[in-house]
Amino acid sequence: MIDFDKGLGAIPKVLEALQLRAKVAMHNIANQNTPGYQRYTVRFEEELRRAHERGADGSTVSPKVERVTDGPPGQNNVSVIDETATLEKVRLMHELFTRRAGSYYQRLNKAIFGRG
């Protein structure tokens, strides 16, 4: 589990990864009827986890786009249901991380100025 207070510096990278993941999912959906199209995915969480295990700052981790080549060769492997689920997950995670950052800065503002 990632310690959110320690990982607060990684929030901009998390939001960047979420934005990229949404773009990739929309690109995959746009190519759902393209013969032979192989979908893309974004790898980020496992790299972030490894960085935290090493004690590195999460802000050094960048999301990576990779092609998924599962399924029969020459066949389109896009599932609109999976891509739509990815977009919903991105929305929920974006809300979680923006609220987490907002809460932190609201507490910081209260500590500095004595008001919320």
pLDDT tens, position by position, 6-48: 557 788 889 999 999 999 999 999 999 999 999 999 999 999 8
Band (pLDDT 50/70/90 cuts) for residue 105 is confident
For residue 88, CA distances in Å to 45, 62, 79, 92 come to: 17, 22, 14, 6
pLDDT in the model for residue 6: 56
CA distance 11 to 95: 12
What HEC string does 13-32 produce? HHHHHHHHHHHHHHHHHHCC
**Cβ atoms of 42 and 63 closer than 8 Å:** yes
**pLDDT of residue 89 exceeding 80:** yes
Please tell me what DSSP assigns to residue 80: H
Mean pLDDT along residues 83-110: 89
Q: Is the pLDDT reported for residue 5 higher than 60? A: no
pLDDT at position 32 is 96
pLDDT tens digit sequence for 51-86: 888 888 777 889 999 999 988 888 999 999 999 999
Q: What is the pLDDT of residue 109?
A: 78
Q: Which of 95, 116, 97, 98 is nearest to 107 (CA)?
A: 116
Q: Taking the chain, what is the end-to-end CA distance rounded to the nearest angstrom?
A: 29
Contacts for 40 with CB less than 8 Å, ≥ 6 apart: 24, 27, 28, 65, 66, 67, 68
Rounded to two decimals, what is the model's pTM? 0.80
